[in-house]
Amino acid sequence: MLTKAEIQRIRSLQEKKSRELNRLFVVEGAKVISELIKSKYPIAEIYATKNWNLSKATLVSEEEMLKISHLPTPSEVLALCPVVHHELKPETLNQGLTLALDTVQDPGNVGALLRIADWYAIDRVILSKDCADLFSPKVIDSSKGSFARVKTYSLDLESLLAEASVPILGCDLRGDDIHTLAYTPNAILVIGSEGKGISPNLRSKITRFITIPKYGSAESLNAAIAGAIVCDVLKNTKLK
């Protein structure tokens, strides 16, 4: 049986301040947690109802799971994983493809972009300091386990881009047609915020602005959808 303090501690991890203080974040869902265990991803604690393999978990009742879950419909298992912030050597940016998210504040979009990076084997994802928090429940949930496979960093984009020597591509409605881009195996792709695009302080760092041609009347594309299309073009240009 969980104490009130334990329930409060787990519930408090919905907030970034508490996640940083406790150095823990929440993962929910049998499929994702099974994958984490199989891949030996670091897990601090597991809580599960009687329907889960109890040899690796603390048994809780369905009522207790309802109290600690961050989901509208709780899963049978919840894990606490350690928050780890990785360092990135600037020269690493010059190797392979980097997806840089500038002020993407919707956690669903950030999670989806992690899945896209996972799908296309993008070498790394960098979140600017004012993006949605990588370890928030909504980002973790919407990434569907990709958070554990993609190399992800939360860093100051402006200083990093200033040191890069590879092409820096910025998604912008007034950019060049993405399909005219030559094969670019080493590059940084910058996706700006959902409402304002790329921040003014980063625009001077962009080597080339690119866009996805529009044929209809929609005002814009969701950040994750745009990211998927551009990643597909970057990965498949060499096949033409």
Mean pLDDT of 154-175: 93
pLDDT band at 51 (very low <50, low <70, confident <90, very high): confident
160-171 per-residue burial string, b: 16 or more CB within 10 A, e: under 16: bbeebebebbbb
pLDDT band at 239 (very low <50, low <70, confident <90, very high): very low
Of 21, 47, 82, the residue at which a domain comes to its end is 82
Q: Are residues 152 and 128 in the same domain?
A: yes
> Please, what is the average pLDDT of the chain?
93
Q: Are residues 134 and 229 in the same domain?
A: yes
**pLDDT tens readout for residues 66-101:** 999 999 899 999 999 999 988 898 889 999 999 999
Q: Are residues 111 and 160 in the same domain?
A: yes
Give the 3-state secondary structure of residue 26: strand
Q: Are residues 40 and 60 in the same domain?
A: yes
User: In the prediction, which pLDDT does 238 show?
Assistant: 63
Instruction: Name residue, tokens 């499929």.
Output: 31
Percent of the chain with pLDDT over 90: 84
Domains identified in the chain, total number = 2
Q: Are residues 133 and 45 in the same domain?
A: no
How many angstroms separate the CA atoms of 10 and 44, rounded? 12
Mean pLDDT of 28-49: 95
Q: Are residues 152 and 211 in the same domain?
A: yes
Of 82, 102, 123, the residue at which a domain comes to its end is 82
Say if residue 225's pLDDT is above 60: yes
Of 82, 109, 131, the residue at which a domain comes to its end is 82
Q: Are residues 136 and 95 in the same domain?
A: yes
pLDDT band at 10 (very low <50, low <70, confident <90, very high): very high
Say if residue 199's pLDDT is above 60: yes
Range of the structural domain that residue 154 is part of: 90-239
Q: Are residues 177 and 141 in the same domain?
A: yes
pLDDT band at 195 (very low <50, low <70, confident <90, very high): confident
